[in-house]
Structure 1
Amino acid sequence: MDRGDVPSNAFEAEPTTIRAQMSTNISDEAFFDALDLTHPGLEDVNAAVNNQDYDQAAIELAAYMRSRGRQTTSPKFYVDSDIPSELSSESVRASSAWMSVSDWDRGDNDETDFMNRFYWLHALRLAYEYTGDEKYADAFEVQANDWIGNVSFPQKNELTGDGYPKRFHSPWSPLSAGKRSQNFVVAYMAFAPVLDDDTHINILKSMLQHAQYLYLVNEECYYGREGDPSFINMQVDEMVGLAMIGTMFPEFKESRNWVDRAYDILYDHIEYNVYPDGVHKELTPRYHNAMLWNYFLAIRMAELNNLNISGFDMATYEKMFDFMLYTAEPDGKSPPIGDSENAQLDVFLVMGASLFERGDLKYLTREDFSTNLMLMGGDLILQRRVMERFQKLVPVEPTETSYAFGNAGFYVMRSDWTMDARYLLFKNGPWGGTHSHRDQLGIEVYAYGNRLIVDSGITDYSGSDVGYLRSTGAHNTVMVDHGEQPITSDYRVDEWTASDDYDFVDGTYDWGEGVTHRRKVFFVKPEYWIICDILEGNDDHDFYQLFHFLPTEIEIDPVYNSVRTNYDGANVLLVPADAQKLSVELFEKPVADDKGGSMTQHVYYKKSGKTVSFYTVIYPYKKGEHPEIDVTQLSVTENEKTLTPEQATGLKIEIEDYTDYFLISNTDTGSKKCEDIELDGKITYIRKDKAGTVVKTIEK
């Protein structure tokens, strides 16, 4: 496209507040007026502008930008960026698919968002750096000019009724503008030496427009409109985009203001949207890790360009890596809690380890993990400097195995830090917004190299199963009458204990309508778990204790109602304590995975009544083993009066070479007794060998 004004469509209605403040058509005169022509290197541009020769000014500016890209004193985003060996010829060929123009508005759907964020520009850039073939730069020219020439700012249907931008599914949604800014800037920095004059000016005009837009929309929509600094994750993407434009293009007069605005909002965001324990308030690993990445970009960009960001809360940022580390499953992947997937964490571990010089973050990376520069799912490439820091670190085993994030409501029980570790994640905490699921008191279990009891997760938002995947029925908790957990702040965790011999958590959630669910989990370290569910209601209800498994053959014992998986690897055996008082059913339901979704086995134990209890043993075991476990429920007495199982119960758990006795009280009354065992506190656990000798005792 020829250089000219950045086009826009006319509005039929009155201009909106944001639109009225923006240059929706950027003439040459307005564009050059936005530049600081006293900036070193712009002398020839300044002379041409003073003569009102804007064609010559454009030629001089394009020449300056080409040479600036080769200068070591120019703004930096990448330093000493070697081409990673991981960028194979297949990656190069794949990037060729994006060498043509496209229809940028695909309607009210996720495809419009994808097309207008230009994620694939990193593949084009890397392919160009890897091969030196200018066809990739040509592709960028075609795509950038086509987008700039055909997507106007902003179209009427991209604004809400009160004149603010739509958040999704429009080319000029603030989030798409923020991500597009990041991707355009990085690609432009790489391709600048070989772009033609018109492309330089078109992109620089567009970046000016993006910066004006992001600056204004984040003033009005957040500070003015909402009136408080409780932001959502999208604004961080937007502000990183604004910071990149301001930092990478200091030739604009307003660049310093853009940078200041961006970092001020980033300071506020980490202050107001991260809990004191380091968990992002949306409470999903996917968006928590996205914030880790965006903050990292802002920090690295400031470091490379000598920006003072002393106002950024680095202590809280470091705690965010603790959440990633201690909730990671033993294979180094994040648990798929909320709108998340079971994703590899290596890139984030490298970021945190190098930035804070922490060997414990390096400890969890895979042994075959490349120490070359890495690709992050088609996103940005990490600098050699980061990898050099990472390589110098000595891996150190994390100091804790089990860990609690009490503000956010995540509790992790872990036996050790090997790949064979037994791991259970328990969740009971605040509602995290639109990306949260109705999964209170839910669990995820991993052991001996396998995910054994799985959370639903979500990989994308376009499938027909999204509603189910977010529902209570898709999680490993208890469902009441096939209903949904309400969104409420009426939850609590009364106790968390982590020790060498056992872990214990006790949480309660109010279902509403007179129903309360209390779940206790006891970890007999390092072997197995006991789940204790107490449900109390004013009326009769059907209660379903839910468990979900990845696709496998499920064996259900018709007498004991035990459930056994048959994975090719480690497996798990579920044994209920009162098999004759419940029913068991098996269904197939969807679950998210890295391929976009699959079917899972869904098992529930059912009881009905006003007040019921479930006591279930979760016993994981290695490949090749096939343990047989008997669980018998025992009566507990107090002052010679037999208590209900909801008040207190005893379990006799016979596991091959030993017998465990587990007594638990759910009331605060006095001393209790089960057979010849006294229960003076909340829990008594005793292990006896085949000879009946007590070999282990735990009292709580």
Structure 2
Amino acid sequence: MKNIFFICMFAVAAFAGCTDDDELYKNSGGSTEETSPLPNEDIDLNLFEAINLNYPGLEQVKAWYETGNYHSAAKALLQYYKGRIGISNPNVSLINSTVKEDEEKWANDALKANKYRFYINNNYYENANKKQPYSLLGADKNIDWNFKPEGADNEYQKQLHRHYWLPFQAKAYQKTGNEQYVIEWKEVYADWIANNPKPETPDEFKWWQLQVSTRIMGQTELFDYYKFSPNFTPEWLSFFLVHFAEHADYLAKFKYRDENNILLSQGTALAFAGTLFPEFKNAADWQKMGFEILNEQAKKQFLADGMLGDLSLHYHMGSLVEFYNLQKLVAQNELPASILSPEINDILQNAAELVMHFTYQNYFIPKSNFNCTSALNDSWMKTKSVLSQNFIKYSEMFPDNQELRYMATEGTEGTEPGTEVKAFETSGHYIFRDGWKFADNKTEGTVLIHSNNYSEESMSGADWSHNQPDNGTFELYHANRNFFPDSGVCTYMDNTDSAVKALRRWFRRTDSHNTLTLNNADIAYAKGKLVKMAEEPQQMVVTENRGYKDNDFTHRRSIFFVDKKFFVLVDEGFGTATGTANLNFHLCEKEADATVDVSENGAHTLFNDGNDLLVRSFGTGITCKEKEGRFSVKNDRTYTTRKAYQLDMNKTADSPVRYITVLYPTDDISAHTIQAEFTDSGNAKNVSVKVVVDGKEYNLGYQL
């Protein structure tokens, strides 16, 4: 029943939009009769400098303005916006409520009665169990825009100024009709503007391009949800539009310096601003610049294999959603189809397919919501519900793609993708799998994702980067269990807080990943390359990376998926460098999940539910020792401890270090014996190993 008001107003607007301008705007330019006793000084006259008064439909606005009746001009402009048709925001639904339960909660948390508890993101709660954000109510009873929770990193303040909670309040208003949301939006936003004026130069903080872009996108939604409110007055319209133009002009003036997801967000915001508010004098310029950025950057930022150049699946998926919304924006507003270059369609389709290959089989478990992706490269694992929403969008973007249709319908329609080794060579990701749908027999459902990235960035001192110095690492998923989940991120960076800085750096460390290091040092370069790949006689990928600046040490990792049942890793360290090589492994999520078998140079898990993993390594002169392991799924500075260990081997100048590791999924740890040895001469041009599992011999190798 609460939606009746919006449905009726939408119908009135649609009906009014069917009339011509003379009917809709009576006295269009022909009357100077005063319609409001309210004073002109309540109207921000900058509005009439920003608006194109010659735009079709604004005849009455222009007439009032030319007589000096600014209040009536603003009132006529508000009436125009209430009745405007032909402009559609794909992110807004005025008919059906789209506010989620948590969003409505955060909308209410943000009210003054609840002490201005502004939602930032899920990493910043005063009470995590209640999902209750921190209060910004200061001692003087005003909003403290400089508030930062004790121990929080820099990202809290950055994301505070993106105003994420404001669109939640607008959607809650659309559902409930509660005018308090509108009243407090006006108070809070006016206070923010007063306390955070626009700078005249590029800003790294409150007016950083990502903050401005996010605010603009939110404001395009707020406007449509609130414009029918009796509290949305001509005075407020002038204030809102003046500062909307201020935001868009600032964004157009200062193009972001780097070519990454932030620049894509800037292009998206400008495209939306120019398209949804064509009445502004600068709207065409905003729109043009926005689409130019998007068309240019899509070709640059999405690599040849489909991965976003940030090398983070989180930002990769976020950028795809932006392009989905842009396609909807173009279609719904009948813009020329070429405004979003057709050349990027294949790029975006490759990007969508990449997400599909990064998805674990537990995505197909009915009525579940497990994490279904890896967390490599400063990313975040995605739940089934998030993935499902995205696959539905991808299928809508590319309706002829039957594999994306398969993912969107959870396997009920479309074509099941293949199980060949999938190489994303440009970004450096390689994926093995034995199938797609989930099998509840605990003997199937295996995915190994190997990350050996290529990046032009130096890894040294790049604590801020999304790209971690983790070349050679992997995650191994089997039967709805991730046995080698990435350590995670734990926190954003804060150079002013030594504790936060130390946390960030621990989780970025090379030896905090499942890879080979020299003297436990971080690598300086991620120049990963594919050396060899094969489907027969066993699936195999060979990659390498020369990661150290001052040491000649190249890590080559060969991965064999033997009979699609278990994995054999061959790790080699070549070069003249000397010291101690360390093969690092980090198991499961909690200490109780696994134990390290020091005397066996390996480990095994302790689930005892028919789904365990046995790990054994072999080589000359190995020393095994336990080490600190951590696992974090959020950026809230919390983590659990877990089992980790390293296998040390002496590295001399004239010989390589060489390890063989067997990763064996099993329902009974005690039922297996595993042996392995090298059967080659140890040169850099070939590998030959013999692995014996329960008496069965496997001869694996390759020649370069």
> Could you tell me the TM-score, scaled by structure 1's length?
0.78
Q: What number of residue pairs does the alignment pair up?
A: 584
SS of alignment partner, residue 522 of structure 2: coil
The one of 40, 48, 61 aligned to 2:64? 48
SS of alignment partner, residue 118 of structure 1: coil
1:503 corresponds to 2:539: yes
The one of 67, 80, 83 aligned to 1:64? 80
Q: Counterpart in 1 of 2:17?
A: none
Counterparts of 2:421 and 2:700, CA distance in 1: 23
- The residue correspondences of 1:351-390 to structure 2 (distance < 5 A) are 351-357=393-399, 358-364=401-407
- The residue correspondences of 1:577-588 to structure 2 (distance < 5 A) are 577-578=618-619, 581-588=621-628
Judge conservation of contact 1:401–1:416 (CA < 8 Å) in 2: no
Q: Counterpart in 2 of 1:98?
A: 110
1:612 corresponds to 2:657: yes
Q: Label 1:299 to 1:459 Cα distance change in 2 as closer, same or farther (>3 A).
A: farther
Range 448-457 or range 356-365, more displaced: 356-365
1:216 corresponds to 2:250: no
SS of alignment partner, residue 331 of structure 1: helix
Shift of residue 27, structure 1, vs aligned partner: 8.9
- The residue correspondences of 1:424-463 to structure 2 (distance < 5 A) are 424-431=448-455, 433=457, 434-458=465-489, 460-462=491-493, 463=500
Q: Deviations over 1:410-466 (max 9, x none)?
A: 110111102352111112231264211111111111011101112123254054411
Q: Deviations over 1:35-63 (max 9, x none)?
A: 12232332221111111222222222233
Counterparts of 1:568 and 1:632, CA distance in 2: 23
SS of alignment partner, residue 452 of structure 1: coil
Counterparts of 1:582 and 1:660, CA distance in 2: 23
SS of alignment partner, residue 573 of structure 2: strand
Q: Counterpart in 2 of 1:404?
A: 423
Q: Label 1:593 to 1:191 Cα distance change in 2 as closer, same or farther (>3 A).
A: same
Q: Counterpart in 2 of 1:522?
A: 560
Q: Label 1:85 to 1:112 Cα distance change in 2 as closer, same or farther (>3 A).
A: closer
Counterparts of 2:405 and 2:80, CA distance in 1: 42
Range 301-310 or range 73-82, more displaced: 73-82
Judge conservation of contact 1:552–1:567 (CA < 8 Å) in 2: no
Q: Counterpart in 1 of 2:508?
A: 470
Shift of residue 647, structure 1, vs aligned partner: 6.5
- The residue correspondences of 1:193-208 to structure 2 (distance < 5 A) are 193-194=228-229, 195-208=232-245
Counterparts of 2:172 and 2:552, CA distance in 1: 61
Judge conservation of contact 1:148–1:202 (CA < 8 Å) in 2: no
Q: Counterpart in 1 of 2:158?
A: 113
SS of alignment partner, residue 531 of structure 2: strand
Shift of residue 79, structure 1, vs aligned partner: 6.5
Judge conservation of contact 1:37–1:43 (CA < 8 Å) in 2: yes
Judge conservation of contact 1:583–1:606 (CA < 8 Å) in 2: yes
Q: Label 1:29 to 1:650 Cα distance change in 2 as closer, same or farther (>3 A).
A: closer
- The residue correspondences of 1:259-408 to structure 2 (distance < 5 A) are 259-310=287-338, 311-312=341-342, 313-332=344-363, 333-344=372-383, 345-357=387-399, 358-364=401-407, 394-408=413-427
Counterparts of 1:633 and 1:261, CA distance in 2: 60
Counterparts of 2:303 and 2:700, CA distance in 1: 36
Q: Label 1:539 to 1:316 Cα distance change in 2 as closer, same or farther (>3 A).
A: closer
SS of alignment partner, residue 454 of structure 2: coil
Q: Counterpart in 1 of 2:3?
A: none
Q: Label 1:259 to 1:568 Cα distance change in 2 as closer, same or farther (>3 A).
A: farther
SS of alignment partner, residue 453 of structure 1: coil
Q: Counterpart in 1 of 2:570?
A: 532
> Could you tell me the TM-score, scaled by structure 2's length?
0.77
Counterparts of 1:461 and 1:522, CA distance in 2: 36
Shift of residue 505, structure 1, vs aligned partner: 0.7
Q: Label 1:518 to 1:320 Cα distance change in 2 as closer, same or farther (>3 A).
A: same
The one of 90, 109, 124 aligned to 1:77? 90
Judge conservation of contact 1:636–1:649 (CA < 8 Å) in 2: yes
Shift of residue 28, structure 1, vs aligned partner: 4.1
Q: Label 1:204 to 1:216 Cα distance change in 2 as closer, same or farther (>3 A).
A: same
The one of 229, 233, 238 aligned to 2:261? 233
Q: Counterpart in 2 of 1:423?
A: 447
Judge conservation of contact 1:519–1:531 (CA < 8 Å) in 2: yes
Shift of residue 519, structure 1, vs aligned partner: 0.9
Counterparts of 2:545 and 2:649, CA distance in 1: 19
Counterparts of 1:248 and 1:86, CA distance in 2: 22
Percent of residue pairs bearing the same amino acid type: 21
SS of alignment partner, residue 578 of structure 2: strand
Q: Deviations over 1:584-640 (max 9, x none)?
A: 222333222147433232221121132211100011235xx3353323334636xxx
The one of 173, 180, 191 aligned to 2:215? 180
Counterparts of 1:424 and 1:45, CA distance in 2: 63
Gaps of at least 5 residues in structure 1 are 1-25, 156-163, 223-229, 368-390, 669-700
Q: Label 1:280 to 1:245 Cα distance change in 2 as closer, same or farther (>3 A).
A: same
Letter aligned with residue 312 of structure 2: T
SS of alignment partner, residue 324 of structure 1: helix
Q: Deviations over 1:373-400 (max 9, x none)?
A: xxxxxxxxxxxxxxxxxx9x92431244
Counterparts of 1:359 and 1:86, CA distance in 2: 31
Counterparts of 1:568 and 1:126, CA distance in 2: 47
Q: Label 1:538 to 1:645 Cα distance change in 2 as closer, same or farther (>3 A).
A: closer
Range 523-532 or range 104-113, more displaced: 104-113
Judge conservation of contact 1:523–1:529 (CA < 8 Å) in 2: yes
Give the RMSD, CA atoms, in angstroms.
Answer: 2.8
Gaps of at least 5 residues in structure 2 are 1-41, 117-142, 364-371, 439-443, 458-464, 494-499
Judge conservation of contact 2:248–2:270 (CA < 8 Å) in 1: yes
The one of 413, 428, 433 aligned to 1:414? 433
SS of alignment partner, residue 525 of structure 2: coil
Shift of residue 116, structure 1, vs aligned partner: 1.0
